[in-house]
């Protein structure tokens, strides 16, 4: 009998729990709840940020010298610097906003800015490559980045680089300004806070880091005295939700305000919900197919040229890449200066077959294609596999995790691969072209694995020369763009082993309750102006 009663109570509790669950959940009015897959959130060090996820969190902990206007991509607006001037020799002078203070309460000085940029170069973290590209290295940063006075920071020229490139880049995460006094307290063996900053923050942003449990949760608390005005949200909770469908259900129920990294099917499902708004951040990476020119077949330009005709770009973009990317035919998209219409991808199965036959491969050949085992890579690989099968090229797909897939590509030991170049949006042709066409040193031990052309063992000295020349032009925008155009054209005419398939898009879903949530294409979305309405 007691058993029976216990059962009954249990059942009652269960029913109550279920009923409560059914009731409409709602996130608190003054808290923003964001769901994302945190696997790639591996550090909070602004100079080592490497992912969409880490950019978003860091953007709210730190301020950058300049900001990009989320409503007009490409437009640079004041951040910590209220104004800036470009001197005739290309030197940049920034005047800091006198209101700006760190979360520690200390005024931000030009010395802090200089320290931050010097750290970016000296530590050799990811940010270094960024600055190395402009000629800065550990030996010269102490002279090149300096405080002229308390309020004026000077960035001298190391190698000639168009100032607009630098200004744009400083709006991103690597342009964050760090509190050197707080860092000094946690420094170990002169590591400039490298160990401590990976999981802590010392910035001036609108939110402070309250808690971060990797692969679980990030809690940000409002920094009441934020110099840019008190944030509306008292707290931001970022939750680790690796399953897209969980995110979707929670968004529909109102347990989440924003959801990142949803898969295509769930984006389509949520788009039908009147309480959810789908927004798309256009990224500057490409989903691409890459061939290694070390391979005897792909070493032949005729084969590469023919192969480009084999792929049904339209169908792949319409179906497989829906919500992940938009159609791309070449490496500079239509809205960027330097775009050339009518070059690049064309689907023509007849030309594909003819081209392969002319190259002496009428019977085709077999190749291995590397792909991540996740969406949309595996589907893209399968679609390409079928396209190539029609042309007689037998493709075996090998799926794996990041290391298994990108590892052989970085080591230049592969035949075919699909992947994605990951970077935040670029508004300049340089950023679009460089990672794909530039390869200054084609030796195996040069280890330029972040350059796709190097991965493909593909070097075009003339393209390199044009790229170097273009970057160095500081005073003539039209001429600079013209040089990028020439570089692109030359690259496309040389039967490149890298075929762009889609331009990266990062869709996210947000609750219709949110006001002022404006996604930034540079992944520097700020959460301090976000409000909720009912």
**Nearest partner of 291 among 276, 303, 279, 278, judged by Cα:** 303
CB nearer to other proteins: pick between 408 and 497: 408
Query: Does 30 engage in binding with other proteins (CB under 8 A)?
Result: no
The binder of other proteins chosen from 30, 279, 315, 411 (CB under 8 A):
315
Q: Among 181, 194, 65, which Cα is nearest to 128's?
A: 194
Residue 248 vs 353, nearer CB to other proteins: 248
| Residue 378 near other proteins by CB under 8 A | yes
Minimum Å gap between C-beta 378 and other proteins is: 6
Residue 210 within binding range of other proteins, rule CB under 8 A: no
Contact segment (CB under 8 A) with other proteins among 20-28, 84-92, 393-401, 468-476 equals 393-401
CB of 113 to other proteins, least distance (A): 46
400 near other proteins, rule: CB under 8 A: yes
Among 383, 391, 433, 437, binds other proteins (CB under 8 A): 383
Is residue 411 within the footprint of other proteins (CB under 8 A)?
Answer: no
CA angle 465, 469, 475 (to 5 degrees): 170
Can residue 398 be called a binding residue for other proteins (CB under 8 A)? yes
**DSSP codes joined into one string, 382-397:** HHHHHHHHHTT-EEEE
Smallest distance from other proteins to CB 101, Å:
47
- Binding to other proteins (CB under 8 A) within 239-258 occurs at 244-245, 248-249
381 lies in the binding site for other proteins (CB under 8 A): yes
Using CB under 8 A, which of 247, 257, 379, 520 touches other proteins?
379
Distance CA 491, CA 53 (A): 33
Closest CA to 427 of 335, 326, 524: 335
Judged by CB under 8 A, the number of residues near other proteins is 30
Can you read off the two tokens belonging to residue 320? Answer: 């497989």
Which of the ranges 16-24, 27-35, 192-200, 395-403 carries the binding residues for other proteins, by CB under 8 A?
395-403
Preceding peptide of 341 cis, ω within 30°: no
**Closest distance to other proteins from the beta carbon of 245 (Å):** 6
**Closer residue to other proteins in complex, CB, 290/372:** 372
- CA dihedral in degrees (422, 424, 427, 431; nearest 10)? -40
Token pair 């690049």 in the structure block, residue: 344
Nearer to other proteins by Cβ, of 111 and 398: the residue is: 398
Least distance from other proteins to the Cβ atom of residue 386, Å: 5
Comparing CA positions, the residue from 521, 70, 526, 24 lying closest to residue 258 is 526
- The least CB distance from residue 347 to other proteins, in Å, is 12
Rounded CA-CA distance 33/250 in Å is: 11
Query: Shortest distance, CB of residue 497 to other proteins, whole angstroms?
Result: 23
* Residue 176 vs 262, nearer CB to other proteins: 262
CA triple 377-315-498, angle to 5 deg: 55
- Contact between 232 and 80 (Cβ < 8 Å): no
Q: Where are the beta strands (DSSP E) in 242-393?
A: 258-259, 276-291, 325-327, 366-372
Q: Give yes or no for a contact between 214 and 87, defined as CB atoms under 8 angstroms apart.
A: no
SS3 117: helix
Radius of gyration of the chain (CA): 25
Contact range with other proteins by CB under 8 A, out of 202-210, 263-271, 338-346, 510-518:
263-271
- Cβ(219)–Cβ(210) under 8 Å? yes
Stretch that binds other proteins, among 209-217, 397-405, 435-443, 459-467 (CB under 8 A): 397-405
Residue in 396, 411, 475, 477 binding other proteins, rule: CB under 8 A: 396
Nearer residue to other proteins within complex by CB, 37 or 60? 37
Q: Which of 503, 502, 501 is nearest to 308 (CA)?
A: 501
> Residue numbers of the site for other proteins (CB under 8 A)?
244-245, 248-249, 263, 265-266, 268-269, 312, 315-316, 318-320, 373, 375, 378-379, 381-383, 385-386, 389, 396-400
């Amino acid at each position: 009998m007691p058993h029976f009663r216990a059962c009954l109570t249990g059942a009652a509790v269960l029913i109550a729990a279920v009923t409560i669950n059914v009731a409409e959940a709602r996130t608190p009015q003054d808290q923003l709840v964001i769901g994302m897959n945190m696997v790639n959130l591996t550090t909070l060090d602004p100079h080592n940020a490497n992912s969409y996820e880490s950019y978003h969190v860091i953007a709210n902990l730190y301020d950058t010298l300049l900001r990009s206007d989320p409503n007009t991509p490409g437009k640079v607006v004041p951040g910590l610097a209220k104004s800036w001037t470009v001197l005739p020799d290309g030197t940049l002078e920034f005047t800091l906003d006198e209101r700006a203070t760190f979360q520690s309460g200390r005024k931000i000085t030009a010395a802090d800015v200089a320290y931050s940029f010097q750290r970016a170069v000296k530590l050799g973290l990811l940010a270094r490559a960024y600055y190395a590209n402009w000629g800065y290295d550990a030996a010269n940063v102490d002279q090149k980045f300096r405080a002229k006075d308390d309020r004026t920071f000077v960035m001298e020229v190391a190698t000639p680089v168009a100032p607009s490139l630098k200004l744009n880049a400083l709006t991103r995460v690597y342009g964050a300004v760090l509190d050197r006094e707080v860092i000094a307290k946690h420094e170990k063996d002169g590591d400039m806070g490298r160990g401590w900053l990976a999981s802590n923050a010392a910035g001036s942003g609108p939110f402070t880091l309250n808690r971060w449990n990797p692969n679980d949760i990030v809690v940000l608390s409002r920094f009441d005295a934020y110099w840019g005005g008190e944030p509306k949200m008292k707290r931001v909770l970022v939750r680790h939700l690796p399953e897209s469908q969980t995110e979707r259900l929670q968004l529909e129920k109102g347990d989440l305000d924003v959801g990142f990294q949803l898969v295509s099917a769930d984006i389509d499902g949520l788009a039908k919900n009147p309480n959810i708004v789908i927004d798309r951040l256009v990224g500057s990476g490409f989903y691409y197919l890459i061939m290694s020119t070390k391979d005897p077949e792909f070493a032949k330009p005729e084969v590469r040229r023919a192969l480009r005709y084999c792929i049904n770009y339209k169908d792949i973009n319409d179906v497989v890449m829906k919500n992940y990317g938009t159609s791309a035919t070449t490496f500079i998209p239509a809205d960027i200066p330097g775009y050339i219409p009518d070059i690049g991808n064309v689907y023509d199965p007849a030309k594909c077959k003819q081209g392969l036959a002319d190259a002496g491969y009428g019977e085709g050949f077999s190749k291995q294609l590397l792909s991540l085992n996740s969406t949309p890579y595996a589907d893209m690989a399968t679609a390409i596999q079928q396209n190539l099968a029609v042309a007689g090229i037998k493709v075996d797909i090998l799926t794996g995790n990041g290391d298994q897939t990108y590892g052989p590509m970085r080591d230049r030991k592969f035949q075919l691969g699909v992947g994605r170049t990951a970077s935040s949006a670029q508004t300049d042709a340089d950023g679009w072209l460089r990672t794909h066409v530039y390869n200054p040193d084609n030796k195996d031990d040069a280890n330029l694995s972040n350059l796709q052309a190097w991965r493909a063992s593909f070097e075009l000295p003339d393209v390199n020369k044009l790229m170097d020349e273009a970057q160095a032009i500081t005073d003539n925008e039209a001429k600079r763009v013209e040089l990028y155009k020439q570089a692109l054209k030359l690259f496309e005419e040389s039967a490149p082993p890298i075929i762009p398939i889609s331009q990266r898009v990062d869709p996210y879903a947000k609750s219709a309750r949110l006001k002022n949530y404006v996604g930034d294409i540079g992944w520097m979305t700020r959460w301090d102006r976000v409000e909720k309405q009912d």
